Structure 1
């Protein structure tokens, strides 16, 4: 069995911001139902307020089989020693169920090069492996890196199990697979909306994409894929929106998600968008499980 297969992520998992707005008891209930539905993996970000490792610990403790992945734990504001200790403890308490997703994350910082930051952070983590203060975990820590550009993808290939990408097209997935080679993990997040009306779907998608299209890192990523100023105007062209958010009925969305696998992804983390604050996409996760799990 390859390292990628041993992760047990399956072909499709769930990616969600919804837990940012839920009480702990509802988070537990949702995670347990996702596990019962057969979803093999659950990805959670660190964007609005939840701290990455306490969030992962809550989800791991509430479930028995499902893999919990940080997508991602940001390296800013977190000493490498703290990341190292948290990852060791989670791997010891829940062997082979936690995937440490690391990324630069956050806002642009003038004069700071993300590649150099990530490489230095990994150097610190690796040096801590010899620290005698933390016992070796029951299962090894397994990590992936958020990566988009060629150099960061190469770093992910060389210094981790592979890459986790976010808001990418199938064209990017094909390019990433070529850089990563055949053996590294490529876990791709993709946004979806179970809505067949084009106007409603694209309006919701544009609301979701607005902060990302304003980000210089994302703009650079999209420009490398051939999108132009016209695609960024008016909250995103139909072409860009449709490439980044798959919408339609269940069969249409499922078929498009399989396209990411065909392009080279090992695993697709499906993010249902359009959930109101304090709500959850659980009804949609149930429907998607019928088609994908």
Structure 2
């Protein structure tokens, strides 16, 4: 079994006193699975020893309601919104829900916020996020707001230097999604040594290069065909040729780690070496009707102390 040095594990994965561990699981599965299966899956994650589970907000279940359901079904697992879209609810409802979760499950919920969703002409993501945080701060300092047992921890989805600076100054840190290891090093520099940095990365247990890249391209297609994601990939240093026609082998191999367990684990550790506190691993390539749980178990045996 591949092991993690105990001292390294203690140093990584900390979010303002919360120990998420160096590695966690990121999944879209809870967006569409029946509730009973969601509960069974998240309990299995906890039993396997994972410290944190991350999930997005897409077109399925409301993010903070789902966070509450996952927290209620587990005892120790940290649940992270990765991310809750600021357009899905007004700041007062976000604050009210997050305060309730902090009170009911002290130290186990992390509120990840992001611009997300479809582009909004004339709306600048940085300004919109700053204004939303202003509202949250005002609500938190209001004497009429409930006082939870534990503080509300929040992080921001951030890629560019200005949003990373906002995450450093107005939140506990940042989460990145579909980035390469070089960006993790850049993000750490922008955040400084103390802010929390979590990195999502997709992995695929497939040995054949042609098959692996075909599956990876299918996964990446929505991100390679939307303007704001394309802009992000350009900032990461990829050319128009890299982005076109489903993505070059270089881009695909950087954004989806595929192959055997040893190789995938080694590449995931590259993010930690580059400055990530926590890496949220997203397993892709799961066939309809199959479960990611066995793959989570394999990863856990390799990555968890």
Q: TM-score, normalised by structure 2?
A: 0.93
Task: Give the counterpart of 1:141 among 152, 170, 187.
Answer: 152
Alignment partner, residue 7 of structure 1: 18
Q: Is 2:281 aligned against 1:275?
A: no
Q: Is 2:155 aligned against 1:159?
A: no
Segments of 5+ residues of structure 2 without an aligned counterpart are 1-9
Q: TM-score, normalised by structure 1?
A: 0.97
Quote the Cα distance in structure 2 between the aligned partners of 1:121 and 1:186. 21
The 1:124/1:5 distance shift into structure 2, 3 A limit, reads closer
Quote the Cα distance in structure 2 between the aligned partners of 1:281 and 1:115. 35
Quote the Cα distance in structure 2 between the aligned partners of 1:19 and 1:59. 9
Alignment of 1:54-65 (within 5 A): 54-65=65-76
Q: Deviations over 1:65-110 (max 9, x none)?
A: 0100000000003100000000000000000000000000001111
Q: Deviations over 1:15-56 (max 9, x none)?
A: 000111211111111111100100000001101311101100
Alignment of 1:101-250 (within 5 A): 101-250=112-261
Aligned to 1:105, what secondary structure does the other structure show? Answer: coil
Quote the Cα distance in structure 1 between the aligned partners of 2:42 and 2:153. 21
Q: Is 2:271 aligned against 1:260?
A: yes
Q: Deviations over 1:231-253 (max 9, x none)?
A: 01220000000000000001110
Q: Deviations over 1:111-137 (max 9, x none)?
A: 110000000000000000133343200
The 1:149/1:278 distance shift into structure 2, 3 A limit, reads farther
Moved over 4 A (4+): none
Contact 1:21 1:278 (8 Å CA) reproduced: no
Alignment RMSD (CA, Å):
1.3
More helix by share: 1
- Tell me whether 132-141 or 149-158 shows the greater mean CA deviation: 132-141
Q: Is 2:36 aligned against 1:25?
A: yes
Contact 2:102 2:108 (8 Å CA) reproduced: yes
